[in-house]
Amino acid sequence: MMKILANDGINQEGVKILKEKGFEVILNKIPQSELMDYINENQIEVLLVRSATEVRKNLIDNCPDLKIIGRGGVGMDNIDVNYAKEKGIHVINTPSASSPSVAELVFAHLFTGARFLEDSNRKMPIVGNTEFSSLKKNYKNGIELRGKTLGIVGFGRIGNEVAKIAIGLGMNVLAADQLIDQAQVELRLFNGQTFEITLHTSSLEELYAHSDFITYHVPAQKQGYLVSENEISKMKNGVALINCARGGVIDEKALLNALNSQKVSFAGIDVFENEPTPSQDLLSHPRVSLTPHTGASTQEAQARIGVSLAEQICALLEAK
């Protein structure tokens, strides 16, 4: 019986599919330092990970039984993908399974900042019963998203999902992507009707100049930041920035300076430069909405990820 180690977990829907096909699914969480020995001792042929477990050259070289490495999610910067493929190992991921969940988190952060929820939720439990009136006054200048312009940097699957929600809210959408000139955005209504909108991408300069809010959906940066003081200086005064992509896309020190000068009105951050020990200055800033890298952490996304991984594994192994 072929053994599959889901080291960072897998939804039960995926487990069910794999077991029905005769695979043994192991859900033990093996520490990184013990992973190589465990794989070899238990003759693991399929290793499934998320962002916590790293699959580097050394592990690939020393685990000759591995046939498939699967990443539950989009980014595969924790896997030496090209090297694994050179060694004849299949590398799979689930690029579209979590896109709707990440897109919804973007708007959770946008609504939070637009209505001061990040600060209100911190202060109401402490002084809400003694300073209610002053808090109400502090938060009286909230803004609506409708009619505002959302800039989307990176217009792949997640960026497209973000655009759908923005259009549904009545927002203007600008998108920038070096690889895409135009894209179709399909809106599907509750009654089954669908509408397609052709969205032409803009330059980053145009997006920065006209966006009230900017959200980033790009891969991890190999060198330098995508957003530093120079880029922030080109943005509108009072812009808001959302990063649910990867830590290191935005220079956190530059972001803090911009927040303190009010060049940036608020930020929503799901990913950090130094995970799992983010900057305390960023964590404690009153105008930053925070989540601990949970963009894909919904029940629905986990179910889609599990099913997608299971179906890909079955297709690859049954084809042999």
State yes or no: is 275 an active-site residue: yes
Q: How many CB atoms lie within 10 A of CB 281?
A: 13
**With contact defined as beta carbons under 8 Å apart, do 296 and 73 qualify?**
yes
Angstrom distance (rounded) from CA 67 to CA 63: 10
Question: Measured between alpha carbons, how far is residue 218 from residues 10, 78, 195, 247 in Å?
Answer: 25, 16, 26, 11
Structure tokens at 123: 């202060």
Give CA–CA dist 32/127, Å, rounded.
44
Choosing from 50, 109, 157, 246, which is the catalytic residue?
246
Give DSSP secondary structure letters for 53-73. S-B-HHHHHH-TT--EEEESS
Residue 192 backbone class (left: φ over 0; alpha: ψ -120 to 50; beta: rest): left
- Kindly give the residue spans of alpha helices, DSSP state H, lying in the chain: 12-20, 32-41, 57-62, 81-86, 99-114, 117-127, 132-138, 157-168, 204-210, 229-233, 252-261, 280-283, 299-318
**Which listed residue (90, 210, 287, 293) is catalytic?**
293
Residue type, 260: N
Interatomic CA distance for residues 248 and 222, integer angstroms: 9
- With CA atoms as reference, report the closest residue to 270 among 51, 7, 48, 11: 51
Beta bridge partners of 216: 153, 243
Per annotation, catalytic residue among 20, 186, 206, 275: 275
Strand ranges across the sheet with 90-93? 24-26, 3-6, 44-49, 68-71, 90-93
In angstroms, rounded to a whole number, what is the distance separating the alpha carbons of residues 19 and 93?
20
Q: Catalytic amino acids?
A: 246, 275, 293
